[in-house]
Amino acid sequence: MKIVVPVMPRSLEEANAIDLNKFQNADLIEWRADFLPKEDILAVAPAIFEKFAGFEVIFTLRTEKEGGNIMLDKDEYIALIKEVNALYRPDFIDFEYFSYTDVFDQMYDFPNLVLSYHNFEETPENIMEIFSELTALAPQVVKIAVMPGNEQDVLDLMNYTRGFKTLNPEQEYVTMSMSKLGRPSRLSADLFGSSWTFASIDQGSAPGQIALADMVKIKEILDAD
């Protein structure tokens, strides 16, 4: 289980002020570029990729449709992704498949895709179909984050992840049930086949994220003989 820590600067000044020492226990960095105005993203990108040159970086434009902070039409979305990829070659690129299905054909040649689905309202009844559709596309990572309405939703997500991972052992899955109710899914990712868990430093990017320092301690306990 790798620990991903999001960074969410709202300006170039905030990006330059990031204290790298706070991130030394992170395995990956997710740059949530949607916290910036769209016209500032390319101007801030050099600071982010230079600062985190020693880390694997996930480039993410989380749109308002999936719980983020930016509105982009399909042309703007795909153009930003392509330009950042061409200039900086991030280790992973998050792509909101169900929000931008009609431009996904332009992403076929990208080897580093995280095909994602986020639902901050519920755990949908068709969650198995979502797993199946994303898995069939064989991206580098399938990512699913949903809001539980009850304990069974949390257990269902974990069980579906375990089942799909068992059937598709070469496919990487990253899944989480959000909010306080869903925290067990963040703590036990290894147990049910989820490769990453997300932790926060100063500010979380989603409900239920655990502080990095606490997650490191928990991981050490879980990994101990």
CATH for 66: 3.20.20.70
Confirm or deny that 129 is annotated as ligand binding.
Answer: no
* Token pair of 173 as six digits: 């899955």
38 tagged catalytic: no
Is there a binding annotation on residue 89? Answer: no
Q: Is 31 labelled a binding residue?
A: yes
pLDDT at 209: 73
Please pick, among 22, 82, 118, 217, the residue that the annotation labels catalytic.
118
Compute CA distances 25 → 51, 72, 199, whole Å: 15, 33, 11
pLDDT in tens, the chain (225 residues): 899 999 999 999 999 999 999 999 999 999 999 999 999 999 999 999 999 999 999 999 999 999 999 999 999 999 999 999 999 999 999 999 999 999 999 998 899 999 999 999 999 999 999 999 999 999 999 999 999 999 999 999 999 999 999 999 999 999 999 988 999 998 989 889 999 999 988 765 556 578 898 999 988 888 877
Domain with 132, as residue range(s), is 2-223
Residue with tokens 């982010």: 48
CA-angle at 57, arms to 3 and 53, nearest 5°: 110
Query: 198 with 30: CB under 8 angstroms?
Result: yes
Run of H or E including 96: strand 92-96
Q: How far apart are CA 202 and CA 164, in angstroms?
A: 34
Domain count, the chain: 1
10 annotated binding-site participant: no
Q: What is the pLDDT of residue 205?
A: 53
32 is in an annotated binding site: yes
Strand 196-200, strand 2-7: pairing? parallel
pTM of the shown model: 0.93
143 is catalytic: yes
Helices (H), the chain: 12-16, 41-51, 74-88, 127-136, 151-167, 183-187, 189-192, 212-223
Q: Let me know the angle formed at the C-alpha of 33 by 176 and 145, rounded to the nearest 5 degrees.
A: 10
User: What pLDDT does residue 221 have?
Assistant: 85
Catalytic pick from 143, 165, 180, 217?
143
Angle subtended at Cα 14 by Cα 58 and Cα 12, rounded to the nearest 5 degrees: 80
- Whether residue 62 is annotated as binding a ligand: the answer is yes
